[in-house]
Amino acid sequence: MNTAIAQRQESAAIVQATESTTILQVIQRAAADPQCDIEKMERLMAMHERMQAKSAETQFNLALSAAQSEMRPVSADAENKQTRSRYATYAKLDGALRPIYTSHGFSLSFNSEPAKSEGEIRVVCYVSHAAGHTRSYMLDMPADGKGAKGGDVMTKTHAVGSGASYGMRYLLKMIFNVAVGEDDDDGNAATAPKLITQVQLYRLQGVLSQCSQGTQSKFSEAWPDPACMTADRFDTEIVALEGAAAKYKDHLANQVKESGNADNP
């Protein structure tokens, strides 16, 4: 730990402990007096609680500073196939940061709340410190299953899970102000590769709608947002989808034929 930070933590703890002890002594003396004014006692107790809360917040801030002083940039360990960019997964961030922040008395817990806008999910992270202070951080993420061009690219369940996962990862980076490599923009680079056109997107969606549910699910897993497909991948993907659609059409035709034979023995 940084020596200057450690000294500030120690000095703050001593000052606040002294002030808290003084208030407690006043309260104890007041409580021992049978003619003690109850309202005065309540004001003293409220003052003591505020001082404790302030002390806990101070310890939180100092510990956060100490934890950040030990954290280093985290290297990317995953690739966004849609944009050919690299980013750090939540598991990579957690593995690098958890040992540090827990050693400084922090614990994290996540929850979700309704967001202000429909089609979004609010991811909330509660950061608690051993001294007693808790601070909440929140981030609203899209969860409507829509792609960049407005088309449906995933189910609502998948969309909520994806939004929560992205929110947790982004919050973890934001809380501790952690840099992730040089290329970790999760596919939003200023010099991003050329993407498919709107016409190509419509063609993909049209052929996909003629495929089986299984094929559609696999495609959505590979391309959560088809609008982000790079142009050099279009020919390969459209040929594969057209083949799958043709097989599914034959499968349905055979089912109809077999059903007709069963009705006319």
In tens, the pLDDT along 191-211 reads 445 778 877 887 888 899 899
Distance of CA 207 to the CA centre of its chain: 33
C-alpha span between 247 and 122 (Å, rounded)? 41
C-alpha span between 66 and 68 (Å, rounded)? 5
Q: What is the pLDDT of residue 106?
A: 97
Say if pTM beats, i.e. exceeds, 0.75.
no
Question: What average pLDDT does the structure give for the chain?
Answer: 78
Strands 106-114 and 78-80: unpaired
Q: What number is the average pLDDT over the span 177-203? A: 64
Q: Does 81 have pLDDT greater than 60?
A: yes
Instruction: Give one DSSP letter per residue of the chain, joined into a string.
Output: --HHHHHHHHHHHHHHHHHHHHHHHHHHHHHH-TT--HHHHHHHHHHHHHHHHHHHHHHHHHHHHHHHHH--PPPP-EEETTTTEEE--HHHHHHHHHHHHHHTTEEEEEEEEE-SSTTEEEEEEEEEETTS-EEEEEEEEE-S-B-TTS-B-S-HHHHHHHHHHHHHHHHHHHHHT---TTT-SSS--TTPPPBPPHHHHHHHHHHHTTS-HHHHHHHHHH-SSGGG-BGGGHHHHHHHHHHHHHHHHHHHHHHHHHHHHHH--
- Residue 65, CB half-sphere, CA atoms under 13 Å: how many? 14
Instruction: List, in order, residues 6 or more apart from 152 with CB less than 8 Å away.
Output: 145, 146
Q: What percent of the chain has pLDDT over 90?
A: 25
By CB atoms closer than 10 A (0-12, 13-18, 19+), residue 167 is: buried
Q: Does 132 have pLDDT greater than 90?
A: yes
Work out the pLDDT band at 13, boundaries 50, 70, 90. low
C-alpha span between 84 and 79 (Å, rounded)? 6
